[in-house]
Amino acid sequence: MPLLDALSAEFMQRALLAGLLVSLAASYFSPFVVQRRMAFLGSGLAHAAFGGVALGVFLGWAPLYTALPFTVAAALAIVAVRHHSALDIDTAIGILFALAMALGMIFLYLTPFYTRDAFTYLFGSLLALGPSDIWLAAGVCALTAALVPWWSAWAFASFDRELAVADRIPANRHDYLLAAALAALIVASIKVVGIILVSAFLVLPGAAARPLAKRFRTFTLLSLAIGTSTTIGGLLLSAPLNLPSGPVIILCQCGVFAAALLAARWQD
């Protein structure tokens, strides 16, 4: 489909709006995820979201709105395990990851009708984006905007948690807030990039911005610029190429990441 035709299509306009909203949120959180080495948490929550989506499909409920509380609960449980047990965070995520996938597969197996929809969630689909998905993306974007006043506290705790706690930043409480926000963002991003690639969507803008930034402020601004431009660029490319949107967005972000590494090396 030529680009201009694609832009005039209602589904593409919805996709661009949803993509812009979720990419703003994802690329805002990305520096915290990268600096705190939380990439595996994103991956674990994406798989928890799969369990929630499958539960929604099985029960005949709206899959994303079923996945939302499911994934937020999983995020809060992971943080609680980290704070209150001797279990290593990676082990806790790994166990939850497997549990959610196993539950998801059983829910899909037990679903008495053909579950082609489930694949929409695994790989993302612009055609499947409806008004309720836009509302979910807008809600997550509004939540992100509401959390901006915590930027200074989260940046400080991302730099040196011990110093931040000594300066009376309640980093443990903030961990719950950040994890819940990431869970909501992951659910809202599923139809744009798909469950399989959503954790990369959360990591790549920050990973590409970090080698180029000298300050945390620049890190955040560059991440926002990279995340939103690659998402819109990937969506626009995917229509004329007739390729699924999620992989095209992630390939664009990987390209920028590689360029950023080269640019940083050249700067040095």
Partner 1 sequence: MSGAAVELRAVSVRFGALDALERVDLVIPAGAFVAIFGPNGGGKTTLLRVIAGLLKPTGGTALVLGESPEALPAARMGYVPQVKRLDPQVPAQALEVVATGVTARWPWRIGAAEAQARAAMKAAGAEHLAERRVGSLSGGELQRVYLARALARQPQLLLLDEPAAGIDVAGEAAMYHALLDYQRASGCTIIMISHDWEGARAHASHALLINRTIRAFGPAAETAANHALLELFGHTGHVKATH
Residues of this chain that bind partner 1 (CB under 8 A): 35, 151-153, 155-156, 159-160, 162-163, 165-169, 210-211, 213-219
What is the rounded distance in angstroms from the CA atom of residue 72 to the CA atom of residue 217?
A: 28
Place of tokens 């600096």: 35
Complex with partner 1: residue 115 or 172, whichever CB lies closer = 172
Closest contact distance (angstroms) between CB of 260 and partner 1 is 11
Let me know the angle formed at the C-alpha of 196 by 121 and 230, rounded to the nearest 5 degrees: 95
Complex with partner 1: residue 98 or 163, whichever CB lies closer = 163
Let me know the angle formed at the C-alpha of 256 by 250 and 260, rounded to the nearest 5 degrees: 140
User: Which residues, including other chains, have CB under 8 Å from residue 131's CB and lie 6 or more apart?
Assistant: 14
What is the rounded distance in angstroms from the CA atom of residue 160 to the CA atom of residue 167?
A: 11
User: Which residues, including other chains, have CB under 8 Å from residue 31's CB and lie 6 or more apart?
Assistant: 155, 158, 206, 209, 210, 216, 219, 220, 223
Closest contact distance (angstroms) between CB of 33 and partner 1 is 14
Complex with partner 1: residue 187 or 209, whichever CB lies closer = 209
Closest contact distance (angstroms) between CB of 83 and partner 1 is 13
**Left if phi > 0, otherwise alpha if psi is -120 to 50, otherwise beta: which for 170?**
beta
Complex with partner 1: residue 35 or 229, whichever CB lies closer = 35
**Left if phi > 0, otherwise alpha if psi is -120 to 50, otherwise beta: which for 95?**
alpha
Closest contact distance (angstroms) between CB of 222 and partner 1 is 9
Complex with partner 1: residue 155 or 184, whichever CB lies closer = 155
Closest contact distance (angstroms) between CB of 98 and partner 1 is 28
Closest contact distance (angstroms) between CB of 174 and partner 1 is 12
Complex with partner 1: residue 132 or 152, whichever CB lies closer = 152
Q: How many helices (H) and strands (E) does the chain have?
A: 13, 0
* C-alpha count within 13 angstroms, C-beta hemisphere, residue 53: 28
Closest contact distance (angstroms) between CB of 148 and partner 1 is 10
Which H or E run contains 266? Answer: helix 245-267
Complex with partner 1: residue 29 or 70, whichever CB lies closer = 29
Complex with partner 1: residue 116 or 168, whichever CB lies closer = 168
Nearest to residue 234, comparing CAs of 225, 223, 243?
A: 243
Contact 91, 194 (CB under 8 A): no
Closest contact distance (angstroms) between CB of 167 and partner 1 is 4
